[in-house]
């Protein structure tokens, strides 16, 4: 195919070394021969909106919230600008604001005081614990807002691990049994979804069986199916003071180098009864989101984690990037990759930015 650009005024071409210009045929008719012009569909904003393949909405977003004991308290999380730990009363106000922005769900994470932490995470299944109280209050104040509770021991563990520790090892089946108790207490408090983020083998089955045995057949399981051992969780662990006291989480969370293994984890969770499967983190794992989307008809969630949030905030604070544009581009990329739902600390900002 020959290049057929013709200048609208017939200015004589100058001798040039530029290949494109050198092949211009001044006598060819304008546009002749160039049938495919993808730019036609990008010409105006209306047109771009019309042919847009991925549309992000507030309804896709889930807002993670940190809750702590106390009254009238709201503590900043330094590594997560504009994120706070809320005492229960202020959590309710925040949840109301979230709901009014069109966000349909929140995911709760507790800051547990040190004297309540032990190796077995006993406080995690205390029916009068912080999370069950928060869920009851939330469901009473805002019955339509979906409440998702985290199922894992780390905020309750004196070792800062997601499971019970013995001789430096994380016990699998013993932990799964505790997780089932934790999920049950959360369901009894009114949680709409329980979300195991611990990566113990078989925990989705244990939890489903425990819920069903007590009649909680409509409480869903959002499984952190492909959860990687990631350095992107740092700011979150600051927020909950839940960093591991020894070692790392690599014997239970996935190796960042693996993608086929993510499919294996997803398949197992689906067999065990997951309603929604999740990939976490999101940004460095868009390929994993994409593969899982092709593999299952269940809704796929992605967790835009604390470190991903902190990077954008930090660069924006330096004036190095346009925060709103980068936020929307990032969230859109997750949806484009295949995420139906996105947990993100940007949920409120994005919902605001997306308002018509
Ligand atoms: C713990 C849990 C973690 C996150 C959610 N649940 C941290 C971890 O696994 O160490 C991380 C969330 C984030 O970084 O935003 N079960």
- Please say whether the dihedral angle defined by the alpha carbons of residues 93, 99, 101 and 107, taken in this order, is positive or negative: positive
* Pair 227, 199: CB distance under 8 Å: yes
The residues facing 68 across adjacent strands are 87
Own/partner pairs, 47-55, CB within 8 angstroms, 24+ separation: 53/336, 54/332, 54/335, 54/336
For position 182, what pLDDT does the model report? 98
Residue 25 main-chain phi, psi, to 5 deg: -100, 105
Alpha carbon distance 281, 49 (integer Å): 29
Q: For residue 16, report the distance from its CA to the centre of ligand 1, in Å.
A: 58
* Pair 171, 128: CB distance under 8 Å: no
Compute CA distances 214 → 23, 209, 218, whole Å. Answer: 76, 9, 11
For position 30, what pLDDT does the model report? 67
The ligand 1 atom at the shortest distance from the C-alpha of residue 253 is 9
Pocket test for ligand 1, best of 64, 236, 253, 284 (most atoms within 8 A of CB): 236
Q: For residue 90, report the distance from its CA to the centre of ligand 1, in Å.
A: 23
Residues in contact with 356: Cβ distance below 8 Å, sequence separation at least 6, in sequence order: none
What angle (nearest 5°) sits at the alpha carbon of residue 72, between those of residues 67 and 78? Answer: 55
The domain defined by 58-354 carries CATH number 3.20.20.70: yes
- Give me the mean pLDDT over the 145-152 stretch: 98
- Smallest CA-to-CA distance from 232 within 111, 325, 138, 345 is with 345
Alpha carbon distance 303, 284 (integer Å): 11
Residue nearest to atom 16 of ligand 1 (CA): 197
- For residue 281, say if its preceding peptide bond is cis, omega within 30 degrees of 0: yes
Domain coordinates of the chain in residue numbers? 58-354
pLDDT digits (tens, 9 = 90+) for 134-146: 999 999 999 999 9
Q: For residue 162, report the distance from its CA to the centre of ligand 1, in Å.
A: 10
pLDDT digits (tens, 9 = 90+) for 317-351: 999 999 999 999 999 999 999 999 999 999 999 99
For position 27, what pLDDT does the model report? 61
Alpha carbon distance 341, 338 (integer Å): 9
For position 55, what pLDDT does the model report? 97
Average pLDDT, the chain: 93
Name the percent of the chain lying above pLDDT 90: 88
Alpha carbon distance 223, 210 (integer Å): 15
- Smallest CA-to-CA distance from 261 within 302, 295, 220 is with 295
Q: Which residues are catalytically annotated?
A: 227, 280
For position 272, what pLDDT does the model report? 98
For position 33, what pLDDT does the model report? 85
Alpha carbon distance 345, 328 (integer Å): 13
> Looking at the whole model, is its pTM more than 0.75?
yes
Residue 133 main-chain phi, psi, to 5 deg: -65, -40
What is the enclosing helix (H) or strand (E) of 101? none
For the Cβ of 162 lying below 6 angstroms from any atom of ligand 1, the answer is yes
pLDDT digits (tens, 9 = 90+) for 268-318: 999 999 999 999 999 999 999 999 999 999 999 999 999 999 999 999 999
Alpha carbon distance 64, 303 (integer Å): 10
pLDDT digits (tens, 9 = 90+) for 207-226: 999 999 999 999 999 999 99
Model confidence at 12: pLDDT above 70? no
pLDDT digits (tens, 9 = 90+) for 177-211: 999 999 999 999 999 999 999 999 999 999 999 99
């Amino acid at each position: 195919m020959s290049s057929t650009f013709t200048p609208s005024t017939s200015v004589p071409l100058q001798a040039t070394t530029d290949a494109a210009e050198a092949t211009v045929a001044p006598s060819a008719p304008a546009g002749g021969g160039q049938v495919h012009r993808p730019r036609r569909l990008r010409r105006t904003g209306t047109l771009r909106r019309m042919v847009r393949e991925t549309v992000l909405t507030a309804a896709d977003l889930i807002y993670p919230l940190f809750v702590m004991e106390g009254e009238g308290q709201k503590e900043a999380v330094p590594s997560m600008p504009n994120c706070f730990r809320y005492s229960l009363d202020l959590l309710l106000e925040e949840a109301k604001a979230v709901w009014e922005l069109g966000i349909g769900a929140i995911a709760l994470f507790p800051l547990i005081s040190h004297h309540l932490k032990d190796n077995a995470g006993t406080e995690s299944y205390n029916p009068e614990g912080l999370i069950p109280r928060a869920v009851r209050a939330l469901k009473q104040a805002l019955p339509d807002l979906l409440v998702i509770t985290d199922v894992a021991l780390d905020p309750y563990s004196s070792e800062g691990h997601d499971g019970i520790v013995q001789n430096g090892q994380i016990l699998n089946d013993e932990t799964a049994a505790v997780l089932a108790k934790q999920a049950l207490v959360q369901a009894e408090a009114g949680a709409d979804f329980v979300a195991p983020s611990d990566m113990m083998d078989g925990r989705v089955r244990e939890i489903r069986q425990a819920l069903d045995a007590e009649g909680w057949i409509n409480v869903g399981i959002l499984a952190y199916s492909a959860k990687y051992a990631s350095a992107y969780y740092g700011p979150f662990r600051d927020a909950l003071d839940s960093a591991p006291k020894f070692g790392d989480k690599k014997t239970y969370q996935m190796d960042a180098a693996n993608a086929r293994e993510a499919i294996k984890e997803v398949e197992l969770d689906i067999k065990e009864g997951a309603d929604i499967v999740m990939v976490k983190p999101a940004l460095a794992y868009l390929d994993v989101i994409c593969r899982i989307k092709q593999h299952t008809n269940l809704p796929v969630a992605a967790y835009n984690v604390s470190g991903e949030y902190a990077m954008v905030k930090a660069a924006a604070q330096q004036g190095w990037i346009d925060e709103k544009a980068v936020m929307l581009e990032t969230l859109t990329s997750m949806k484009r990759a295949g995420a139906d739902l996105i947990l993100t600390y940007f949920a409120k900002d994005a919902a605001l930015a997306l308002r018509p």
